Structure 1
Amino acid sequence: MGRYVIRRLVQMVPVFLGATFLIFVMVYAIGDPVSGLFGDRGPDPATAQALREEFDLDEPLPLQYVLYMGKIFTGDFGTAFNGQPVTQLMEHAFPISFRLMLVALVLEVVLGIALGVITGLRRGRSLDTSVLVATLVVIAVPTFVLGTTVQYVLGVKLGWIDPAVSPDPRLDELLVPGLILSLVSLAYVTRLTRTSVAENTRADYIRTAHAKGLPRRRVTVRHLLRNSLIPVVTYLGADVGNLMAGAIVTERIFNIQGVGYQLFQGILRQNSPTVVGFVVVLVLIFLLANLLVDVLYAVLDPRIRYV
């Protein structure tokens, strides 16, 4: 296992460099960051040239990337065009988005797997049909529609929640935003678990376990659920990065100043150092989450061994 982890970490290096280079090129290809900083007024030529030299924007794009990554490896993510270090924005935004992601992930795992197991064991019955229809509705309705509707009904009409959370929200304040963020993923986890459970109930090892007289609960938890979770874990590993980066709509609806908020502001104002810095960290989180998923495979399935 140790050799496998080391080999995967080495393989992550070119993937990380390639992904960050593509992001760097795409962000800086959107437009001139200096012109975007001044808006319609247009920058003074001397000031614009000084800013380009300060942020290495007068260098060729590949050299800009090399210089930028060199600073990142020393912990310097640059300075946003408002004069604030990008690391300060990260120190405020990532803990908030991490708490939001944690709430969404817990709801997604607990509710999604529970509904998937229940419907998979009762395939074809009325409960199974109702849950499948509900998941299709959740997947089909855009997140901003669900979020705005829930915010209006629960926050404005009924007054059960605050329409907007505080600048440094607690976990309990993030329950409703976390539910909105997790709904689509929760629907997919439910459907994945349901399909996997329904397939494995007909497997030979499940029939053997029942034939040996093992209790139904033990067969479900120790044998059926453990093997059925492998495709679900694969999805959850990829979804960690998606929840962190895909919270732009949810954070905008509930005025949560996390990663999604900073990315939206950075793109809106063509604040390239902010966008690139945040996305570089998200790429790293995504890669580490996928490594963790591969390691969990061996825990869930004893037949899987890494050398």
Structure 2
Amino acid sequence: MGRYVLRRLLQMIPVFLGATFLIFLMVYALGDPVSALFGDRGPDPATAAALREEFHLDQPVWRQYLLYMRDILSGDFGTAFNGEPVTALMERAFPISFRLMLVALVLEMILGIALGVVTGLRRGRGLDTSVLLLTLVVIAIPTFVLGTTAQYFLGVELGWIDPAVSPDPRLDELLVPGLILSLVSLAYVTRLTRTSIAENARADYIRTAVAKGLPRRRIVVRHLLRNSLIPVVTYLGTDIGTLMAGAIVTERIFNIQGVGYQLFQGILRQNSPTVVGFVVVLVLIYLLANLLVDLLYAVLDPRIRYA
């Protein structure tokens, strides 16, 4: 196991460098951030030259990347064009988005897996058909429509929630935004669990467990569900990074100043240190989440061993 983890960590290095370099190139292609900082007024030539020299914008793009990675490895993510360190923005934004991601992940795990198990065991019946249609509707409707509708009816019409959350929201304030963020993923988890449960329910080891007279609850929980969770865990692991980075729409709707908000502001203002710094951390989160998923395979299925 130790050698496998070490090998995977080493494999992450070229993936991390390649992903961050592509991100750096894409942000570089957005345009001149110094000109965007001054807007329509246009920068003073001397001031613009000083800013380009300070942020290494007068260097070739490959050299900019090397200088930026050197600073990152020393813990310096640069300074945003408003003069605030990017790490200060991260300290405020990541805890908020992490709480939002945690709420969304727990909701999609509990509701998605529960609905998938129930419909998988009742495949072809009325409940199964209804849940499948409902998941198709959720997948088809854009997130901003679901979010603004929930915000209007629950916040404005009924007054059950605040239309906009506080600057440092508690977990209970993030329940509705977390549900909106998780709805599409919840629908996919439900359908994936349903398919896996229905497929494994016809397996030989389930028929053997039934023939041995084991209780139905033990068969479902200890045998059927455990073996059916591997594809679900794979999806949930990759979804962690997606929830962290894909909250731009949800955070804009509910005025949550997390990672999505900072990324939106950085892209809008062509603030390359902010955008690249946040995405670099998201890439690391995504890679570590995938490593954790691979290690969980051995927990779910004892037949899987890593050398």
Q: How does the TM-score come out when normalised to structure 2? A: 1.00
Corresponding pairs, count: 307
Alignment of 1:49-128 (within 5 A): 49-128=49-128
**Structure-2 residue corresponding to 1:201:** 201
- The one-letter code of the counterpart of 2:294 is D
**Structure-2 residue corresponding to 1:246:** 246
**Structure-1 residue corresponding to 2:18:** 18
**Structure-2 residue corresponding to 1:260:** 260
Give the SS at the match of 1:78.
Answer: coil
Alignment of 1:1-307 (within 5 A): 1-307=1-307
Deviations 1:153-192 (A, max 9, x none): 0000010000000000000000000000000000000000
- The one-letter code of the counterpart of 2:174 is L
Give the SS at the match of 1:20.
Answer: helix
Shift of 1:105: 0.1
Q: Distance in 2 between matches of 1:239 and 1:150?
A: 23
Runs of 4+ in 1 over 4 A off after TM superposition: none
- The one-letter code of the counterpart of 1:295 is L
Q: Distance in 2 between matches of 1:273 and 1:42?
A: 21
Q: Distance in 2 between matches of 1:65 and 1:115?
A: 46
Shift of 1:253: 0.2
Shift of 1:231: 0.4
Q: Distance in 1 between matches of 2:116 and 2:282?
A: 29
Q: Distance in 1 between matches of 2:275 and 2:11?
A: 25
Q: Distance in 1 between matches of 2:217 and 2:92?
A: 45
Give the SS at the match of 1:192.
Answer: helix
Percent identity of paired positions between Structure 1 and Structure 2: 87
Q: Distance in 1 between matches of 2:152 and 2:33?
A: 37
Q: Distance in 2 between matches of 1:91 and 1:59?
A: 29
Task: List gaps (5 residues or longer) in structure 2.
Answer: none
Deviations 1:45-95 (A, max 9, x none): 100000000001111100100000000011100000000000000000000
- The one-letter code of the counterpart of 1:90 is M
Deviations 1:22-51 (A, max 9, x none): 000100111001011111111111000000
Q: Distance in 1 between matches of 2:206 and 2:44?
A: 74
Deviations 1:88-138 (A, max 9, x none): 000000000000000000000000000000000000111000000000000
Give the SS at the match of 2:293.
Answer: helix
Deviations 1:176-223 (A, max 9, x none): 000000000000000000000000000000001111111110010000
Task: List gaps (5 residues or longer) in structure 1.
Answer: none
Q: Distance in 2 between matches of 1:301 and 1:156?
A: 48
Q: Distance in 2 between matches of 1:66 and 1:247?
A: 30
Task: State the superposition RMSD in angstroms.
Answer: 0.4
Further displaced range: 208-217 or 141-150: 208-217
Q: How does the TM-score come out when normalised to structure 1? A: 1.00
